């Protein structure tokens, strides 16, 4: 599935809800389904800095496609990271490098539902992923 299809699929999920609070609750529910990562990965090497919560992401590569595992100490952040996981899993380096956090929120209809702090954390998570895949 290409990125546009993945974005449309996520958008359809959130389009179901008119009330921003319902969208927020959906993100939390997504976070509750995120299995997280093992404790030994919860270190500074995989930490997402610039996020108000503690959060981690580990990128893995398999045959030119990338996959991420994420975790956080809050369900809302775990839910936002689950959105990134949906987009990134199975994507190429070029597809991942083309992603823009603000555009993602606009495209899936969450721009007005998420606080600026959470938006900044989401942006930092995406930058952390892009740095890991680019070896920086």
- Identify the pLDDT of residue 60: 96
Q: What is the distance between the alpha carbons of residues 20 and 110, in angstroms, rounded to a whole number?
A: 8
Residue located via tokens 């702090």: 117
CATH of the domain at 12: 3.90.1010.10
- Identify the pLDDT of residue 136: 66
- Identify the pLDDT of residue 126: 96
Q: pLDDT under 70 in the chain at which residues?
A: 136
Provide the 3-class DSSP secondary structure of residue 22: helix
- SS3 per residue for 73-85: CCHHHHHHHHHHH
Q: What is the total count of domains within the chain?
A: 1
The whole domain housing 58 covers: 3-133
CB-based contact 105:77 (threshold 8 Å): no
């Amino acid at each position: 599935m290409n990125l546009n299809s993945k974005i449309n699929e996520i958008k359809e999920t959130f389009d179901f809800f008119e009330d921003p609070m319902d969208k927020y609750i959906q993100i939390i529910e997504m976070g509750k389904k995120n299995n997280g990562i093992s404790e030994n990965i919860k270190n500074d090497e995989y930490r997402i800095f610039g996020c108000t919560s503690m959060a981690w992401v580990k990128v893995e590569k398999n045959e030119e496609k990338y996959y991420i595992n994420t975790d956080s100490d809050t369900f809302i952040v775990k839910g936002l990271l689950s959105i990134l996981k949906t987009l990134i899993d199975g994507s190429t380096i070029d597809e991942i490098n083309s992603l823009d956090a603000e555009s993602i929120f606009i495209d899936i209809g969450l721009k007005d539902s998420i606080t600026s702090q959470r938006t900044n954390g989401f942006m930092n998570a995406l930058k952390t992923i892009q740095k890991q895949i680019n070896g920086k």
